[in-house]
């Protein structure tokens, strides 16, 4: 297989859509959080916890159980952050770093208790793949766009939903108001604290599902380090996408494209070290981050002391 | 009380692993203070953490939130390996060249995010995090390429360093190497710096950048200097890990030390003595957890959980204190907070 073969690009692009799915969920979760004016730096730990919870849940109750477990675990981490920052008044960056440690450490701990040998990769039921009738048989576009897991379609529906919610509904308006000007919002009778609590918890749920989209979306098993910094990529994706769902989609696809390309690089490209391809997704994300750095598009109260 | 909560969670986790918490704790203590060997292990585990943490201290004090120590440490170890293996020299020369190469490597890896932050306003948290992952793959590429061991070995690693490039041991029968003296030197330097006018200006930069700029410390200068210092320290720690402990460069050289080092800096309240104390506690926790894993069925990753919980507890305690007394805004543990708040805004 090589680069002037259409089949090669079909595999790479289909892989990109698959690999973008976890990022879309996680980035939407972070975006909702940041739109409310808080930042969740624990995202990588929460995705790791979600990825593991999904495998445990799926091995016991099938893929729906896996998704539910990941959502609950993600929501619990969101709740912990919300309580520490909003009720406890703790510094959100420090809390985020602490949660990043707890999330990955606790997951690794529980994983080793669950699978003491550590080497047996346990395979669990995946989220089913839906071939959209008619469209899935199209040449090229069928495999790339129309034969994915339910999670991928759900991510796109959610993307449209969040887009509509933020732009067109009262709830979305309140969320943005709290993130831009909490003082002004509270003068309007909006309970900033409650909205932020909800945003951080829902954000955590989506990050947990984002982790699940890695393990029960396509891998089928869990290993420590399976998230591979995708939480931090999602953070970058939110900025690259200028805090809009459509922008996040573009950012997620960009990283996922290079990620997918690197997975294929082992089978070809004479003379170029494969590690170079593994660097590419992160390097490309950094590059676009630099390009999009100018201007202030973020919520104005982002990262400031809550309250 | 916060510590009590941490303790309760830890006991619950140990119980979940099917071990007796008392046995586990005695394993933890045996693994930390049991004999001179493990005490030395604790010290050499704490040393790189302290160096990384003392190095990021000025940045965090100035409100520059670099989280790139992990990658800078890796690149420092890589560059010092390349230089050590290619240049001849006597013992002291080799050590000097090695540490300088490590520092240069770390600074090089810090330079890009520093310039991006100073002149293009690219969020340094994200750029440094992304560069950590790039550094990891770059190390693997070098260990599979130019730095590959001559011997036929399946796993990627470098050639062993010549004996004259090894840091000397201080105590027979242990791995206590002379690198710990570097920590003492850095500690003294950091204590002096925090009391100088320069130290004050950098600290002022976090809360009042305009004022510190009028006092001669411009925004780009604060960002670039502190990030380069952090990079140099992390690079030196990377050199120390190879020169003092492993004597061969492996892909695992980072091992989370860069991340934990930042946690140490925060736990230590961004003050030099606090940082060294925090490094000793976390170093003890790490070696103790290894001992606990051997003696009982408790996985060593419990150390990471405890570290995270400790940081969370400290953050809550600091917040609770400043809520109770509004006048304590100038308390020593406070400036980093205001700073990071600001820095989080992209």
Question: What digits encode the pLDDT tens for the residues B286-299?
Answer: 999 988 888 788 89
Q: Which residue, among B315, B328, B338, B342, would best test binding to A if mutated, counting the most A CBs under 10 Å from its CB?
A: B315
Q: Do residues A91 and A98 lie in contact, with contact meaning Cβ atoms separated by under 8 Å?
A: no
Domain ranges of chain B: 26-343
Q: Which of A222-226, B11-15, B273-277 has the highest mean pLDDT?
A: B273-277
Structure confidence at residue A222 (pLDDT):
92
Q: Chain B neighbours among A 116-135 (CB < 8 Å)?
A: 116
Nearest to A279 among B116, B138, B345 (CB): B138
- What's the sign of the alpha-carbon dihedral B52, B57, B58, B62? positive
Structure confidence at residue B324 (pLDDT):
59
Element (H, E) at A130: strand A129-131
Question: What digits encode the pLDDT tens for the residues A1-52?
Answer: 566 788 888 899 999 999 999 999 999 999 999 999 999 999 999 999 999 9
Which pair of tokens denotes residue B313? 């507890």
Q: Which of the residue ranges A36-50, A59-73, A232-246, A290-304 would you say has the lowest mean pLDDT?
A: A290-304
Q: State how far residue A239 is from chain B, nearest Cα, in angstroms.
A: 8
Portion of chain B with pLDDT greater than 70, in percent:
93
Structure confidence at residue B112 (pLDDT):
96
Q: Which of A145-149, B83-87, B323-327 has the highest mean pLDDT?
A: B83-87
Q: Do residues A306 and B172 lie in contact, with contact meaning Cβ atoms separated by under 8 Å?
A: no
Nearest to B116 among A104, A235, A290 (CB): A290
Q: Which chain A residues have a beta carbon less than 8 Å from that of B145?
A: 273
Q: Which chain B residues have a beta carbon less than 8 Å from that of A305?
A: 341
Q: Which of the residue ranges A222-226, B20-24, B56-60, B326-330 would you say has the lowest mean pLDDT?
A: B326-330
Q: Does the beta-carbon distance from A228 to B337 stay under 8 Å?
A: no
Q: Which chain B residues have a beta carbon less than 8 Å from that of A105?
A: 301-305, 307-308
Question: What digits encode the pLDDT tens for the residues B255-306?
Answer: 899 999 999 999 999 999 999 999 999 999 999 998 888 878 889 899 999 9
Average pLDDT of span B211-232? 94
Q: Chain B neighbours among A 7-66 (CB < 8 Å)?
A: 39, 41, 45
Q: Which residue, among B74, B111, B126, B335, would best test binding to A if mutated, counting the most A CBs under 10 Å from its CB?
A: B126
Average pLDDT of span A280-293? 89
Structure confidence at residue A139 (pLDDT):
85
* Ordered structural domains, chain A, with CATH: 6-291 (1.10.3470)
Portion of chain A with pLDDT greater than 90, in percent:
64
Q: Does the beta-carbon distance from A88 to B131 stay under 8 Å?
A: no
Q: Which chain A residues have a beta carbon less than 8 Å from that of B311?
A: 94, 97-98, 101
Portion of chain A with pLDDT greater than 70, in percent:
93
Q: In which band, very low, low, confident or very high, does the pLDDT at A294 lie, cut at 50, 70 and 90?
A: low
Report the CATH fold assignment for B26-343.
Answer: ABC transporter involved in vitamin B12 uptake, BtuC (1.10.3470)
CA distance B62 to A133: 58
Structure confidence at residue B98 (pLDDT):
96
Residue of chain B with shortest Cα separation from A227: B133
Average pLDDT of span A222-244? 91
Q: Chain B neighbours among A 74-113 (CB < 8 Å)?
A: 84, 88-95, 97-106, 108-110, 112-113
Q: In which band, very low, low, confident or very high, does the pLDDT at B216 lie, cut at 50, 70 and 90?
A: confident
What is the reported pTM? 0.90
Contacts of A218-222 with CB under 8 Å at 24 or more apart are A218/A18, A218/A19, A218/A126, A218/A149, A220/A123, A220/A124, A220/A126, A221/A55, A221/A121, A221/A122, A221/A123, A221/A124, A222/A51, A222/A52, A222/A55, A222/A111, A222/A121, A222/A122
Question: What digits encode the pLDDT tens for the residues A78-128?
Answer: 999 999 999 999 999 999 999 999 999 999 999 999 887 655 567 888 999
Q: Does the beta-carbon distance from B309 to A228 stay under 8 Å?
A: no
Q: Do residues A237 and A46 lie in contact, with contact meaning Cβ atoms separated by under 8 Å?
A: no
């Amino acid at each position: 297989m090589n680069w002037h073969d259409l089949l090669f690009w079909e595999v790479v692009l289909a892989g990109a859509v698959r690999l973008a799915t976890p990022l879309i969920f996680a980035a939407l979760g972070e975006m909702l959080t940041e739109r409310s004016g808080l930042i969740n730096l624990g995202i990588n730990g929460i995705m790791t916890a979600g990825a593991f919870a999904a495998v445990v849940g799926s091995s016991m109750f099938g893929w729906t159980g896996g998704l539910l477990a990941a959502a609950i675990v993600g929501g619990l981490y969101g709740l912990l952050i919300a309580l520490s920052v909003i009720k406890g008044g703790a510094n959100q960056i420090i809390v985020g770093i602490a949660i990043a440690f707890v999330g990955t450490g606790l997951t690794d701990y529980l994983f080793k208790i669950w699978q003491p040998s550590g080497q047996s990769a346990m395979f669990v039921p995946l989220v089913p793949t839906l071939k959209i009738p008619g469209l899935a048989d199209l040449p090229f576009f069928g495999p790339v766009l129309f034969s994915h897991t339910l999670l991928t379609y759900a991510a796109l529906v959610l993307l449209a939903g969040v887009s509509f919610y933020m732009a067109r509904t009262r709830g979305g308006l309140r969320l943005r108001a709290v993130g831009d000007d909490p003082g002004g919002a509270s003068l309007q009778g909006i309970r900033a604290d409650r909205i932020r609590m909800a945003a951080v918890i829902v954000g955590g749920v989506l990050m947990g599902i984002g982790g699940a989209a890695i393990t029960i979306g396509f891998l089928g098993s869990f290993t420590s380090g399976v998230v591979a910094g995708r939480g931090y990529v999602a953070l970058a994706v939110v900025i690259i996408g200028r805090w809009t769902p459509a922008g996040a989609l573009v950012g997620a696809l960009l990283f996922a494209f290079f990620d997918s390309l690197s997975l294929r690089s082992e089978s070809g490209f004479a003379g170029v070290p494969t590690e170079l391809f593994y660097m590419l997704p992160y390097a490309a994300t950094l590059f676009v981050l630099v390009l999009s750095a100018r201007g202030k598009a973020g919520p104005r109260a982002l990262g400031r002391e809550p309250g | 009380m916060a510590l009590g909560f941490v303790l309760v969670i830890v006991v619950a986790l140990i119980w979940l692993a099917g071990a007796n918490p008392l046995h586990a704790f005695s394993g933890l203590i045996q693994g930390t203070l049991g004999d001179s060997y493990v005490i030395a292990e604790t010290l050499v585990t704490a040393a790189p953490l302290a160096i990384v943490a003392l190095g990021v201290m000025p940045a965090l004090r100035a409100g520059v939130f670099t989280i790139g120590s992990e990658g800078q440490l890796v690149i420092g170890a890589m560059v010092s390996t390349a230089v050590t293996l290619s240049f001849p020299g006597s013992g002291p020369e080799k050590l000097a060249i090695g540490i300088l190469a490590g520092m240069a490597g770390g600074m090089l890896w810090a330079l890009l995010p520093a310039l991006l932050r100073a002149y293009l306003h690219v969020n340094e948290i994200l750029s440094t995090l992304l560069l950590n992952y790039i550094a990891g793959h770059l190390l693997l590429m070098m260990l599979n390429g130019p730095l590959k061991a001559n011997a036929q070995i399946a796993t990627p690693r470098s050639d062993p360093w010549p004996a004259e490039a090894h840091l000397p041991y201080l105590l027979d029968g242990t791995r206590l190497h002379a690198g710990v003296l570097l920590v003492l030197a850095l500690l003294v330097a950091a204590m002096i710096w925090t009391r100088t006018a320069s130290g004050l200006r950098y600290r002022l930069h976090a809360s009042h950048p305009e004022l510190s700029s009028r006092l001669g410390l411009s925004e780009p200068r604060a960002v670039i200097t502190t990030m380069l210092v952090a990079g140099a320290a992390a690079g030196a720690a990377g050199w120390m890990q190879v020169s003092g402990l492993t004597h061969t460069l492996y892909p695992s050289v980072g091992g989370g030390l860069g991340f934990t080092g930042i946690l140490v800096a925060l736990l230590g309240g961004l003050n030099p003595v606090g940082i060294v104390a925090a490094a000793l506690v976390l170093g003890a926790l790490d070696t103790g957890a290894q001992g606990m894993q051997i003696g009982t069925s408790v996985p060593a990753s419990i150390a990471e959980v405890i570290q995270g919980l400790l940081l969370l507890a400290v953050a809550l305690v600091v917040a609770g204190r400043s809520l109770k007394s509004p006048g304590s805004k100038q308390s020593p543990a406070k400036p980093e907070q205001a700073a990071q708040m600001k820095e989080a805004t992209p």
